[in-house]
Structure 1
C-alpha cells in the first residue's frame, strides 16, 4: 500500500506524540526515584507506627493539608504488635501497610535483611542529623528519642547529673528499669548502658536495690505515684505525665541514651509515590516542628524545641550519645536480656 503525503504527516505526528509521552513518563519516574518528590500525588496511604496518638494525628493533619489527594490512615500500636502483624501479613501474601515508623531500630535492620523495605533517598536528607550507620537509604530517622533518669521531685530534690548518682541514698531500693524482654526501648537502653559501662553498672545499681519493672510506661507511673523514687524513662511519656500534673522531672547524664525512630517504605506498597512523599514530608521543617512540639528531639537543627522540655540540644545529644552496633546487638538479644536479668534478679 502506497503511503500518501497526508498519512505520512499523521504518522509522523503520532510517533512524535508517543515519544514525548514516553520521555515525560521516564522523567517523572526518575524524579520520584531520586527523591525529587512527586507533586500532586494521590492514592491510599497506610502507616503502621508505635508513636503516640497525638503525634501521628498532628502529622497526618499537616501531611493531608499539604497533599489533599492522599487518603492517609494509620494504625498506632506497640512496635512488637506491629511487627507481629507484618509477619502475619507476609505469610498471607501481602503487607498491607505502605510505611512503618517505630523506635525499634533493630527491627529495621532485620526488615532490611529480609528484603521487605524499599531503598529510597528522601528529599531533605542532607538537612538532618543521622546517627544511624548501615541503613543504606532503606530507612531514615524521623525523630531522636531520648531516655534519662526520671525522678519524683518530692523524693529527690537535687537533679541527678551522673549515672553514678543512682547509687545514692535517694534511689536506694527505689529505682527501676523496664523489663527489656517486654519493652524494645528498654532493651536498646540496657544494651547502650552495657556498651558504655559494662555489666558492672547493673551490678552496682542492683546492690543499691534497683529492680526490673514492667513496661516503659509502668515504671514512670510507679515513679509518679511515689512507689519509686526514679526510673529509666522515655522523654515524651514523662512529659505527658508532667503536663497532667505529675511531680516528675527528667535528668540527662553526659552519656546520652539516644534512640532514633526510623521511617521506611514497605516493599508491598501499592502507593509508591504517596509513600515517598510521606517520607520526604517527615524530614521537612514543618513535620519536624510537630515532632519537637510533642516532647522529643527532631532530626533537624533548624527546629526549635520548646524550652519547657529542657531537652539537650540536638547536636549535643547526637555527639554525646552512646554508640552501638545495632546488627550485633540484634543477634545477641536473648543473651543480653538473660545476662541483665541474671544480675538484676539476684
Structure 2
C-alpha cells in the first residue's frame, strides 16, 4: 500500500478519539485525570527512552511534582540501541523496563503483535489527537515530530523547498543526516521515502550521489547545520527551533512533497510489576500538564488545549506523509539495509 497524503492537518484536534470499545478486546478503562493524580503506593518504575537526557530529567521532575511517591529510573539511548536491548532482555529472561517512550508507531505495532505490551487507554484520551492513539489501545503518541530540511541562514541564501532539491549538484558535500541504525526516526523515514511514489529508491540513490555526511543522530545533525560544518541537514524540526531560539543561524524548510513524522509513542510492557505506577506515568505524559511541558520543550503537542511552541507552524500549513503502519513495519528493516548500501 502506498502512503496517503494529507494536505489538511494530521487530524483536527478536538475530534473524539477512535472508539476503542469497538475493538475485539476492550482495553482497561481509563482513569479520570483526578483518579490518575491520586496518591499511589510507593513504587519504582524503569523508563527506556530516546528522549534527550535533559528533557527526560525535566519530564521525570514534573511527573514527581504530581506523584512524588513514584521513583522513575531512566535508561536513555538511541532507539536502535533501545530496541536491541529489549530484544536481548526478552531472549535472556525478561524485559527490565516498565515503560517505553521512543521511536515511531511502527516499533510499537511490532511489540503489540508480539504480545509485549499492556493494553491501556490513558486518562483524558478524548482530548488527544486521534491519529496518535492506537485504536487497539496498546500505545499512545506523546509528541508530533516532523522531519524537515534545516539550513544555515548565513551560508544558504535560497532554502531548498523539496526533498528533490537536495539531489541538485549544488548541494554535493553540503548535507548531513542521521544514521537509521541509531535513530528510530531516521529508520522510519527511510521506509517512508522508499515507499513514496514521488521519491523512492531513485531519489535516495540520487541523494547518495551528493555524498551526505551521516551523523549518529538528529542532535549532531542540527549542530552541524548551526555551526555551518554542513549547511544543509535532514533533521527533526524541534531541534531547529531550539537552536534558532538560542541565536544560531538556522532555519527550517518543510518540503513540498510532504514530511514524515513520528509521534514518540509511549507504552507499558505487559510483564511490568508496577502497573498502577506505569499507568500514572503514561497519564501524565498526555495530560494537559505533561503536554504543556512538551510545548516548553519545543515539541508540537498531541492535544489542542496547550498551545504550540513559539515559531512553530500550524499543522494546517504542513503537508504530511501519513503511512500505513503495517507497510512501515514490514519494510523498515529492508529500507535501513538499502540506506546502508547507498550511504554507509
Q: Which has the higher helix share?
A: 1
Q: How big is each residue's C-alpha offset from its partner over 1:38-58, in whole Å with a ceiling of 9 and x where there is no partner?
A: 422232222111111222222
- After TM superposition, the structure 1 = structure 2 runs for residues 1-346 of structure 1, keeping only pairs within 5 Å, are 33-37=28-32, 38=35, 39-42=38-41, 43-132=43-132, 136-168=136-168, 171-196=171-196, 197=198, 198-206=200-208, 209-211=210-212, 213-216=214-217, 217-243=219-245, 245-254=247-256, 255-307=258-310, 310-314=311-315, 316-317=317-318, 320-343=319-342
Q: How big is each residue's C-alpha offset from its partner over 1:220-242, in whole Å with a ceiling of 9 and x where there is no partner?
A: 33323323220201223334444
* Separation (CA, whole Å) in 1 of partners of 2:293 and 2:126: 20
Contact kept? 2:47, 2:75, Cα under 8 Å: yes
Contact kept? 1:35, 1:120, Cα under 8 Å: yes
Structure 1: tracts of 5 or more residues without a match: 1-31
Structure 2: tracts of 5 or more residues without a match: 1-26
TM norm structure 1: 0.80
Higher relative contact order (CA 8 A, sep 6+): 2
Distance of aligned partners of 1:88 and 1:140 in 2 relative to their CA distance in 1, 3 Å threshold? same
**What SS class does the counterpart of residue 270 from structure 1 fall into?**
coil
Find the counterpart in structure 2 of residue 12 from structure 1.
Answer: none
Distance of aligned partners of 1:339 and 1:97 in 2 relative to their CA distance in 1, 3 Å threshold? closer
Q: How big is the shift at 1:211? A: 2.4
Q: How big is the shift at 1:137? A: 0.7
* Separation (CA, whole Å) in 2 of partners of 1:134 and 1:290: 22
* Separation (CA, whole Å) in 1 of partners of 2:116 and 2:221: 34
Q: How big is the shift at 1:148? A: 0.7
Q: How many residues align?
A: 309
**What SS class does the counterpart of residue 278 from structure 1 fall into?**
helix
Contact kept? 2:142, 2:266, Cα under 8 Å: yes
TM norm structure 2: 0.80
Higher alpha-carbon Rg: 1
Q: How big is each residue's C-alpha offset from its partner over 1:282-331, in whole Å with a ceiling of 9 and x where there is no partner?
A: 11111101111111211011222232xx32224555xx310222322222
* Separation (CA, whole Å) in 2 of partners of 1:93 and 1:341: 32
**What SS class does the counterpart of residue 332 from structure 1 fall into?**
helix
